Chains A and B, each alone.
Chain A
């Protein structure tokens, strides 16, 4: 089973600054990597899939990159509504599975 590791666990950033979040897979997942945002008391929201494709309605300040085992989510200029927890997820084709990373909390500095 593929293990997903996110770093850092917590990221303190000032509004308007850039945030860079990392995700590593224990083996290659090709580009089958998604990023979700979760706010307290809410279900997760899909931000990025295919490692770099923004989901419908997601602002351009969110971008994803990487392939294989190393991935990055970048938020170019943090807005107040972006302070949340972010999870990466691999969704391999075979065997089908949907493992999540442990999450990165982006908090106000």
Chain B
């Protein structure tokens, strides 16, 4: 049974950073792509970036280049997403999502975390 359990809600000041974690259980963590997707209140899904283990480096959406860092810790089967220079528009639910197949080279997701609400407010 695959589970992705994310860290709890955060409230941050504009200009600060936030780091959200996603702990995986079930399956071989290092064999699956992992991505972060966010959803602002009442809005659609927005892919932020991810890591495909076979490539070893993270890919980021152009919109978030330079402001987001996605990392993984294989020893604890945990993925992290750090977003810096926060502004009010970054208020959203942030989801982690896992790729569908071992060693796959694409960002197609079948398991999702429960979501983490990040609120940016002065």
Using a Cβ cutoff of 8 Å, how many contacts connect chains A and B? 68
Which of B45, B46, B59, B100 counts the most A-chain CB atoms under 10 A from its CB? B45
How far apart are B14's CB and chain A's nearest CB, in angstroms? 26
Is B122 on the interface with A (CB-CB < 8 A)? no
Residues of B within 8 A of A96 (CB): 33, 50, 52, 55, 59, 105-107
For B61, the chain A residues whose CB sits under 8 A away are 1, 97, 99
> Is A71 close to B, CB under 8 A?
no
Interface-central residue, A32, A91, A92, A95, by most chain B CB under 10 Å:
A91
The interface size bin for chain B is 20 to 34
Q: Are A46 and B109 in contact (CB under 8 A)?
A: yes
Indicate if the CB atoms of B45 and A1 lie closer than 8 Å.
Answer: no
Distance (Å) between the CB of A30 and the closest chain B CB?
11
A8 part of interface (Cβ distance < 8 Å): no
Q: A34-B108, A46-B108, A97-B59 are in contact. List 12 more A-B contacts (CB 8 A).
A: A32-B106, A43-B114, A44-B95, A46-B109, A46-B110, A91-B108, A96-B50, A96-B105, A96-B107, A98-B35, A98-B107, A103-B45
